[in-house]
Structure 1
Amino acid sequence: MVKLKAGFAFILALVLCLMACKPAPQSYQWHLPAGFPEPIVPLDNPMSEAKVELGKRLFFDVDLSFNQSTSCASCHQPQFAFAQNSQFSVGSTGLVLRRNSQALINVAYNSNLTWAHSGLNSIEQQILIPLFAEDPIELGITGHEDAVLSRFDSPAYQTLFKQAFGNEGASFASIVNALASYVRSLTSFNSEFDRYAYHAEDDAMSEAAKRGMDLFFSERLECFHCHGGFNFTQSSQHQNQRLDLRPFHNTGLYNEDGLGAFPASDQGLFEISLLAKDMGRFRAPTLRNVEHTAPYMHDGSLATLADVIDFYAAGGRGAGTESPLKSPFIRGFDLQGSEKQDLIAFLASLSDEGFLTGKPSTTKEAD
């Protein structure tokens, strides 16, 4: 479990500062398909091009870590859809973290953040964890606040902060708000599936991908129950609705005692809620760009999409298939002939190649 230890007072002060922070009002153009709803943006941190540009610079800057070894992008790499192709991430001190790095795709629409925390629903709030948490240490700023902040006194950064926040200048409140703005800007809506489903390009998807799509949305496989909606995850909200479905599920990955227990090293939502029913529940991530975000699951224990399909076809793994806490949607299924490859083809059709190279996800703007 993340511990803030002695830095808690500083974190509390920073949260209060964030709430009081008044960014300079500026416009922002979302890169969304026509007709798509805009994400919900906090009133005290409105989007602006200047804040996104500053946030991007900060996101890739190792100066944000206490020992100048690690950036946000070290664990969230664009070519892997802002995830990382390793089982676990490594913090700035060399400590191996306990969870697989999540992809940052359409995070602006997420109603819940991280793998297993029902109370984290603000990007600004979540960003405080990698910046300041002490157990585990990621960027490790706590105890080094003055030294880290002084690195952003350069003329180039002063200009960026002034453009984004007026005369406020560099502060941890403005750094967090800029990072949050950049993360919100990472939208992905230009996959083959999007062109087929939303832009009526009938030839955008292969016939195999179309067959896989039918399987994905079938009651036989039931994939869409946990990975539904335009973001292929239950954890979505936008300007047209604010339904919070609390998308945490036990998929039968473990069952160490016959009663559904997960390893003590990571027991999912149970660590936050302390409710027995939440043992082993983790958030269903988006499947957009999933072809590029391997390995899979909260602990990176499944290496390929084929492994993931085999896992769900079996109704879990090992003793986990008999877990009394397993989601009722994880029942197992049989795939015939080439159906597995069709399903993989559909998942591959959710890839947005422009997103992986940092280009806007679509040129068809919302009305």
Structure 2
Amino acid sequence: MSGKYFISAIIILSFQFFLYGCEPKVEKTEFNWQLRDGFPRPQTPVSNPMTNAKVELGRKIFYDKNLSFNQTQSCATCHQQIFAFAENLQTSVGSSGEKIRRNSPALVNIAYNKTLTWAHSGLDTIERQLLIPMFGENPVELGISGHEEIVLSRFKSDEYQKLFESAFPEEDISFELIVKSLASFVRSLVSLDSPFDHYAYDGDDSALSESALRGMNLFFSEKLECHHCHGGFNFTQSTFHEKQILDRKPFHNTGLYNVSVKGDYPAVDNGLYEITLNDSDKGKFRAPTLRNIEVTAPYMHDGSIATLEQVIDFYAAGGRNIDSGNYQGDGRNNPLKSPFIKGFEISEQEKSDLINFLKSLTDQNFLTNKKYSEPVKDSS
């Protein structure tokens, strides 16, 4: 193709995409992932192969407030399609009114994720991750614990009986089946139809503006180094699929905080350290995908940066200096900060170009696709 910026970008994208030719055992199913030609299939647990019936059941449960103990929230409360299945709040609020300490992550191509949540190196299946919002007690999200029988009884209506029978023939309705169906629906949330995809994979030179093309070149440059943590076709290191099985350790301390000389983050959330208890993991969080990043504000694990412009300013500064208050400290000098966060000079025009490139990763079809939306209720 003739796009003058295409070659430099596609080399980096292809590196992660095709480097690992060893294919692990993958459960073969008839489910149509509707992927682009040549894109690898996500890994799926052998114990929960993808089927259309499971996805449809999971979609209905995803939007059903009966899943919360007090019937006030559903999964979709904190994962809204218009925001790429994130939420436009700094941090979410559980069904009991309890504030959640982290920003609600977007559910974009997470079938490809190597790990789940912001900072857990061992949480590697959606089935396991779902247990946290469903049954977790600190904080309470859906609040099912202690109310298991009454919550489960809500999913034994005639309508649900038919859906469960189709998805799991001759199996009794249970939370295990609810989890499997929810995981299947979430895996089906594939977003690969952005202007960038049309440019990079369809050969449409007109899909990106001149400004976005300049921004793409900046993104993949060694000056900004964005691609080191947000590389590959899914714009994140946290990627796992049938052509890649290597764990690329996608957790980074970005210098967002530095509340002590040892590099601590606020006690409310020290990231990966809480799992590993390794001091070097303080303040490390997973680099999320940048697909649909335009609509997933606010940003960072705690939603503490409001706009893309402010995110770029933060990285340009090489971290964040907080000069007063409980979190006072200069993150630019955090001793545990990633070596990729060095700071850089960027002009206003370059910043505008970079933002236009990031906006080119927005998949409008994903944000409006009715197969991902709340099912239309039967009026009969």
Fold match (TM-score > 0.5): yes
Which residues of 2 match residues 209-248 of structure 1 at below 5 A? 209-248=212-251
Percent identity over the alignment is 63
Residue 376 of structure 2 is matched in structure 1 by none
Superposed CA deviations along residues 115-171 of structure 1, whole A, max 9, x for unmatched, are 001010011000011000111110011111100000011111000001100111321
Residue of structure 2 in register with 1:150 after alignment: 153
Alpha-carbon shift at residue 345 of structure 1 (Å):
0.1
Does residue 346 (structure 1) correspond to residue 357 (structure 2)? The answer is yes
Q: Does 1:289 align with 2:300?
A: no
Aligned partner letter, 2:342:
R
Q: How does 1:178-193 map onto structure 2 within 5 Å? A: 178-193=181-196
Structure-1 residue corresponding to 2:25: none
- The 3 A distance-change label for structure 1 pair 147 and 344 is same
Moved over 6 A (4+): none
What do residues 210-249 of structure 1 show as CA deviations (whole Å, max 9, x unaligned)? 0000000000000000000000000001111111112000
Residue 71 of structure 2 corresponds to which residue in structure 1? 68
Partner Cα distance (1:169, 1:182) in 2: 20
The match for 1:3 is none
CA offsets, 1:85-141, max 9 Å, x none? 010100010001000000000000000110001010011000011000111110011
In 1, Cα distance between equivalents of 2:258 and 2:138: 26
Match of 1:313 among 313, 316, 325: 316
CA distance 1:263–1:166, change in 2 (3 Å): same
Counterpart CA distance in 2 for 1:211 and 1:305 is: 17
Residue 336 of structure 1 and its aligned partner are, at CA, apart by 2.2
Partners of 1:353 and 1:359 in 2: how far apart? 12
User: Quick one: distance in 1 between partners of 2:34 and 2:108?
Assistant: 13
Instruction: Tell me, in whole angstroms, the C-alpha distance in 2 between the residues paired with 1:360 and 1:34.
Output: 21
Shift of 1:26: 6.5
1:172 equivalent in structure 2: 175
- Other-structure match for 1:37: 40
Q: 1:114 aligns with which of 98, 113, 117?
A: 117
For the residue of structure 1 that corresponds to 2:180, the secondary structure is helix
- The aligned length equals 337
Counterparts of 1:256-267 in structure 2, within 5 Å, are 256-267=259-270
Structure 1 residue corresponding to 2:87, chosen from 75, 84, 89 = 84
Provide the C-alpha distance between the structure 1 equivalents of 2:285 and 2:243, rounded to a whole number of angstroms.
Answer: 26
Structure 2 residue identity aligned to 1:279: K
Aligned to 1:21: none
Cross-structure match for 1:326: 337
Q: Deviations over 1:267-289 (max 9, x none)?
A: 00001100000000000000000
| Equivalent pair of 1:234/1:246 in contact (CA under 8 Å) | yes
Corresponding position of 2:96 = 93
Q: CA deviation at 1:31?
A: 1.4
CA distance in 1, matches of 2:40, 2:260: 45
2:166 aligned partner: 163
SS at match of 1:291: helix
Contact conserved, 1:112 with 1:246, CA < 8 A, in 2? Answer: no
Which runs of no fewer than 5 residues in structure 1 stay unpaired? Answer: 1-24, 362-367
Contact 1:31–1:360 at 8 Å: present in 2 too? no
Q: Aligned partners of 2:348, 2:51: CA distance in 1, in Å?
A: 50
Query: Partner residue of 1:364?
Result: none
Alignment match, 2:22: none
Given that 1:86 and 1:100 are in contact with CA atoms closer than 8 Å, whether structure 2 keeps it comes out as yes
Secondary structure at the residue paired with 1:203? helix
Give the stretch that moved more between structures: 167-176 or 55-64. Answer: 167-176
2:30 aligned residue? 27
How far apart, CA to CA, are the structure 2 residues paired with 1:359 and 1:149? 27
Between the aligned partners of 1:360 and 1:212, the Cα distance in structure 2 is: 32
Report what 1:197 is aligned to: 200
- Per the TM alignment, residue 253 of structure 1 is displaced from its structure 2 partner at its CA by 0.4
TM-score by length of 2: 0.87
Contact 1:354 / 1:360 at 8 angstroms: preserved in 2?
no
Corresponding letter in the other structure for 2:128: Q
Q: Shift of the alpha carbon at 1:360?
A: 6.9
Aligned to 1:12: none
Q: Could you say what secondary structure the match of 1:259 adopts?
A: coil
Is 1:103 paired with 2:106? yes
**Are residues 129 and 253 of structure 1, via their aligned partners in 2, closer, same or farther at CA, if it must alter by over 3 Å?**
same
Shift of 1:259: 2.0
Q: Is the 8 A contact 1:248 1:269 kept in 2?
A: yes
